[in-house]
Amino acid sequence: MNNRPEKKPRFVMDLAGSFFAVTILIFVAFYLIWTVSHGGAGSGRAGLAVGEVAPEITAAGWVNGEPPTDLTGKVVVVNAWATWCHLCREKSPELVEIYNQFADRDDVIFIGLTTNDASVMPAIKKFLEEPGITWPNGYGATESLQKFQADYIPSVWVVSRSGKIAWNYDSPGDLESAIRKQL
């Protein structure tokens, strides 16, 4: 009788170790994706803070027309999104519903911005058409979104009549109430 433990062939041990490592990597990847898509791990996700002056909005081009050049005295809702963003797609119908409540007002302006460029125009148009987004959307708006500090998408800001951020995702209350408060 041999009292030594039975040794498994080395390739079996290598496979088990590789399987464990791959499982851990997949878990970490899913955790990071979930954390980013849900606004970060306990930190603010809103970008430009309430009270800050909203930056000028520029884009390489526009779909659904251009926004007014003078936004003075208007309440402006700025939405950051991307064609590849699942959560952006999920939130779009709700945004359309809120837009429809204010669509007949000339003092509330909705503007969408994406860093996607003209090379993905079919995807941009599909993203906008599916939920019925009809307000101006700027593509190639990387500079504007950097100024809004849009580290997470979707992100939404309400800009007051005086041109300052009045609400963002870190603010209490919801988007609709934030718009009404500015009116």
pLDDT, one tens digit per residue, over 103-122 is: 999 999 999 999 999 999 99
- In this prediction, residue 94 has a pLDDT band, given cuts at 50, 70 and 90, of very high
- In this prediction, residue 5 has a pLDDT band, given cuts at 50, 70 and 90, of low
| Among the listed residues 92, 88, 77, the one whose alpha carbon sits nearest the alpha carbon of residue 167 | 77
Q: pLDDT at position 28, please?
A: 42
Shared domain for 92 and 151, answered yes or no, is yes
**Residue 55 within a domain:** no
Length of the chain: 183
The yes-or-no verdict on residue 7 having pLDDT over 70 is no
Q: What percent of the chain has pLDDT over 90?
A: 74
**Residue 53 within a domain:** no
pTM: 0.76
Between 26-30, 47-51, 67-71, 128-132, the lowest mean confidence (pLDDT) is in 26-30
Shared domain for 33 and 67, answered yes or no, is no
Q: Label residues 105-130 b or e (16+ Cβ within 10 Å = b).
A: eeebbbbbbbbbeeebeeebeebbee
Q: pLDDT at position 11, please?
A: 56
What is the mean pLDDT of the segment spanning 120-131?
A: 98
Number of domains in the chain: 2
What residues pair up with 79 in beta bridges, in sequence order? 112, 156
Round to whole Å and give the CA distance between 15 and 21. Answer: 10
Shared domain for 106 and 19, answered yes or no, is no
**Residue 22 within a domain:** yes
Task: Say which residue the tokens 């251009």 belong to.
Answer: 66
Distances 5 to 10, 14, 15 between C-alpha atoms, Å: 14, 18, 20
Q: pLDDT at position 17, please?
A: 59
Distances 182 to 83, 160, 175 between C-alpha atoms, Å: 30, 6, 11
- For 80, the domain range is 61-182
